[in-house]
């Protein structure tokens, strides 16, 4: 074997790689891919998304399609959501759980009529695929749509911008993009390109996620960015936006050691599934929902200007009581914020705790999240 036949594990490029670089994107390695961390600057990009419309390339995320008889019931053996009750065109936030109820990933599940479409985190998508394949019967087909890209268009002007793109509903009578409500999805045609659009995202703003074939991504992104309301936004602002929205990030605020009750994601445990007690880790999770978990994810406001970041220990007096799992300067708040885990009796808003940063204690206060109100469009004509 020649030496040059040894293939090292290289950072992969996504379909928009050249596009990001041409737009001035500063590329970093993330989840095994070259991704733009920022273009003009995280602060400006963050604020632009909150007031106009930001375009995010999230093509590193895993797009999976499950098909087969009783696929909803099969998926329910691995997640705690009521998947069977999900109507075509509707989606739900859910969690892939291990047998002890630890969180393996968080994901979006969409009923696309004849199949279920999942969007999972890029960093763990290969593990997710293995977990699904290992635990679903051979009757269920899993298709990894790795030839598709995923864009997120987020912000108050996203709906106007996407409307001007001229997406045609695939069937007469199916909703226009402006008629979708939060957590609704539908297929469209864009100049002959099949495009799936959902009204969803992870910034707290109104907005859309758009799945389309990789070869059409550049033309679609160019058409969006030709509109003055739209700018490309990097991973840096994506992180600060979701933090302000109080949304947990997998691998940081959620891990296999943490269950959904501890992560304050009880809403993802559907009523019917609670009654049936038949999801992975049900005993632990239902116990924690009933009695309160030993520790809980909370938001923290931070006194002063010193950012409190992931890994900072939390104290009550001399006692180390918890840890910060995400934190940083929040551009729309104008101050540092954080989220982390504290014992149940400290999880009450208003509780004072201290975070240790470089040997100094910074005063923090437990607070309800989100830090910036969500602006999801839940009802049409409201």
Partner 1 sequence: MPRYYTEEHEWIDVDGDVATVGITDFAQGQLGDIVFVEVPDTGAELTAGGDAAVVESVKAASDVFAPVDGTVTEGNGQLEDDPALVNSDPEGGGWFFRMTLSDKGQLDGLMDAKGYKAFCDAL
| Binding site as annotated, residues for substrate | 209
What are the backbone dihedrals phi and psi of residue 133, each rounded to the nearest 5 degrees, phi first?
-65, -40
Site for partner 1 in 26-45 (CB under 8 A): 37-38, 41-44
Nearer to partner 1, 43 or 377 (CB): 43
* Residue in 307, 355, 362, 367 binding partner 1, rule: CB under 8 A: 307
CB of residue 41 vs partner 1: minimum separation in angstroms?
A: 5
Whole-angstrom distance, CA of residue 124 vs CA of residue 122: 6
* Residue in 158, 331, 338, 346 binding partner 1, rule: CB under 8 A: 331
* Residue in 309, 313, 344, 375 binding partner 1, rule: CB under 8 A: 309
- H helices of 32-119, in order, are 42-51, 71-76
CB of residue 82 vs partner 1: minimum separation in angstroms?
A: 38
203 touching partner 1, by CB under 8 A? no
Q: 130, exposed or middle or buried, with CB in 10 Å at 0-12, 13-18, 19+? A: exposed
Nearest residue to 97 (alpha-carbon basis) of 249, 325, 256: 256
User: How many residues sit in the footprint of partner 1 (CB under 8 A)?
Assistant: 18
CB of residue 341 vs partner 1: minimum separation in angstroms?
A: 21
337 token code pair: 């914020």
Q: Are 84 and 90 contacting, i.e. CB atoms less than 8 angstroms apart?
A: no
Whole-angstrom distance, CA of residue 48 vs CA of residue 68: 43
Nearer to partner 1, 133 or 305 (CB): 305
Whole-angstrom distance, CA of residue 360 vs CA of residue 373: 31
305 touching partner 1, by CB under 8 A? yes
Please, which residues have CB within 8 angstroms of residue 274's CB and are 6 or more apart in sequence? 286, 289
CB of residue 17 vs partner 1: minimum separation in angstroms?
A: 21
Nearer to partner 1, 309 or 374 (CB): 309
Q: Are 172 and 180 contacting, i.e. CB atoms less than 8 angstroms apart?
A: no
* Residue in 306, 323, 333, 377 binding partner 1, rule: CB under 8 A: 306
Nearer to partner 1, 114 or 360 (CB): 360
Burial letters for 174-207: b for 16+ Cβ neighbours within 10 Å, e otherwise? Answer: ebebeebebbbbbbbebeeeebbbbbbbbbbbbb
- Count of all residues that appear for the chain in the document: 382
SS3 label, residue 99: coil
Q: Are 46 and 332 contacting, i.e. CB atoms less than 8 angstroms apart?
A: yes
364 touching partner 1, by CB under 8 A? no
Nearer to partner 1, 46 or 131 (CB): 46
Residue 48-87 contact track with partner 1, rule CB under 8 A, x = bound = ----------------------------------------
* Residue in 2, 114, 358, 379 binding partner 1, rule: CB under 8 A: 358
Site for partner 1 in 236-295 (CB under 8 A): 236, 240
| 3-state secondary structure labels for all residues of 263-326 | CCCHHHCCHHHHHHCCCCCHHHHHHHHHHCCCEEEEEEEECCCCCCCCCCEEEECCEEEEEEEE
CB of residue 12 vs partner 1: minimum separation in angstroms?
A: 22
CB of residue 55 vs partner 1: minimum separation in angstroms?
A: 19
CB of residue 364 vs partner 1: minimum separation in angstroms?
A: 15
The one segment of 80-88, 304-312, 318-326, 367-375 that binds partner 1 by CB under 8 A: 304-312
The one segment of 207-215, 245-253, 282-290, 302-310 that binds partner 1 by CB under 8 A: 302-310
Nearer to partner 1, 42 or 285 (CB): 42
329 touching partner 1, by CB under 8 A? yes
Q: HSE, CB side, 13 Å, CA atoms: give it for residue 195.
A: 28
Tell which phi-psi region holds residue 268, choosing left (phi > 0), alpha (psi between -120 and 50) or beta.
alpha
Binding site for partner 1 (CB under 8 A): 37-38, 41-44, 46, 236, 240, 305-307, 309, 328-329, 331, 336, 358
């Amino acid at each position: 074997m020649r030496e040059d036949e040894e293939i090292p594990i290289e950072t992969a490029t996504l379909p928009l790689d050249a596009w990001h670089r041409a737009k001035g994107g500063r590329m970093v390695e993330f989840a095994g891919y070259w991704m733009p961390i920022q273009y003009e600057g995280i602060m400006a990009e963050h604020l632009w998304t909150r007031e106009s419309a930001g375009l995010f390339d999230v093509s590193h995320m895993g797009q999976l399609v499950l098909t087969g008889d009783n696929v909803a019931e099969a998926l329910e053996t691995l997640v705690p959501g009521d998947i069977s009750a999900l109507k075509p065109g509707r989606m739900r936030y859910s969690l892939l759980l291990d047998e002890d109820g630890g969180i393996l990933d968080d994901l979006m599940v969409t009923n696309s009529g004849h199949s279920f479409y999942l969007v999972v985190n890029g960093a763990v998508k290969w593990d997710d695929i293995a977990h699904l394949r290992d635990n679903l019967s051979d009757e269920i087909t899993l298709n990894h749509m790795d030839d598709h890209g995923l864009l997120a268009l987020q912000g108050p002007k996203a709906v106007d911008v996407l409307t001007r793109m001229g997406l045609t509903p695939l069937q007469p009578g199916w909703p226009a993009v402006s008629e979708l409500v939060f957590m609704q999805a539908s297929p469209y045609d864009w100049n002959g390109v099949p495009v799936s659009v959902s009204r969803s995202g992870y910034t707290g703003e109104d907005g859309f996620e758009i799945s389309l074939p990789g070869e059409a991504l550049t033309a679609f992104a160019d058409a969006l960015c030709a509109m003055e309301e739209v700018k490309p936004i990097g991973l840096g602002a994506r992180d600060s936006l979701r933090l302000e929205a109080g949304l947990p990030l997998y691998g940081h605020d959620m891990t296999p050691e943490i269950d959904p009750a501890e992560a304050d994601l009880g809403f993802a445990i559907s009523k019917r599934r609670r009654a049936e007690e038949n999801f992975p880790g049900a005993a632990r999770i239902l116990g924690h929902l009933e009695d309160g978990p030993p520790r809980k994810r909370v938001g923290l406001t931070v006194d002063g200007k010193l950012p409190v970041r992931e890994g900072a220990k939390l104290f009550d007096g001399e006692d180390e009581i918890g840890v910060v799992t995400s934190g940083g300067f929040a551009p729309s708040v104008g101050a540092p914020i954080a989220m982390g885990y504290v014992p149940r009796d400290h999880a009450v808003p208003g509780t004072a705790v201290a975070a240790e940063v470089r040997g100094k204690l910074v005063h923090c206060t437990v607070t309800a999240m989100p830090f910036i109100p969500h602006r999801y469009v839940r009802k049409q004509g409201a």
